[in-house]
Amino acid sequence: MNTPPVARNLKVSLCHSCGLVCDMTNHPHVCKRCDAPLHDRKINSLTRTWAYLLASLVFYIPANLLPVMNTTMLGSGADSTIMSGVLEFWQHGAWDIALIIFIASIAVPGVKFVSLTLLLVTVQCNSQWARKERSKLYRFVELIGYWSMLDVIVVALVAALVKFQALGDIEPRPGILFFGLVVIFTMLSAMSFDPRLIWDNPQNKEQMDDVANH
């Protein structure tokens, strides 16, 4: 079955800054419209994606083990981790806030870790499996990545609400910093991955090795 040609075969490349389709016949280094750098493939895409992903996994451990906030009510205070905070909100009837925190803090990072690992492994194995579906998976990862900071926002809103109503006091703890780093590094990982690698011809092993390392 004949497959449509890729942009590299047609000697064109899309400018990531302004979206202009640029002629790469003479190997231009910058876009003629906005002067942004042009690359057939993102430089060191797989290496940088793996590095950011592994860094986010390292920070994910203390983000879940360390307390993210300290709540003081009527003179007594207690530290809360992400999961204990979810359970506490659920037990007090705030199931909507508990659900938001669980999705943003547990489900979304987990989905991103699994999805990015799948994309990286299949690209490095030169897999032709479900290319279209993997491209959609990458776009989904990009989409949900921007909602990962909901947990930090919820903690800030709850703290402001408690202080406004003079019910007590809420202070952030180190866990929220590590969770913020998890969000940042997973976003950088998704941004570093080049989805065009999914569509490269796996039959040319030398070309694929050059793409993966450059």
- Rounded to 10 deg, the angle between the 45-65 and 205-213 helix axes is 50
Check residue 208 and give its pLDDT. Answer: 40
Alpha-carbon span 29 to 142, nearest angstrom: 27
Alpha-carbon gap, residue 72 to 87, rounded angstroms: 17
Confidence at residue 155, expressed as pLDDT on a 0 to 100 scale: 62
SS3 81: coil
Contact yes or no for 68/177 (Cβ under 8 A): no
pLDDT score at 183: 84
For the chain, give every domain's residue range: 1-40, 42-213
**pLDDT value of residue 213:** 46
Q: How far apart are CA 183 and CA 53, in angstroms?
A: 10
CATH class of 42-213: mainly alpha
pLDDT along the chain (214 residues), means of 10: 66 78 79 81 87 93 81 63 77 76 80 90 85 88 72 63 56 79 87 84 48 43
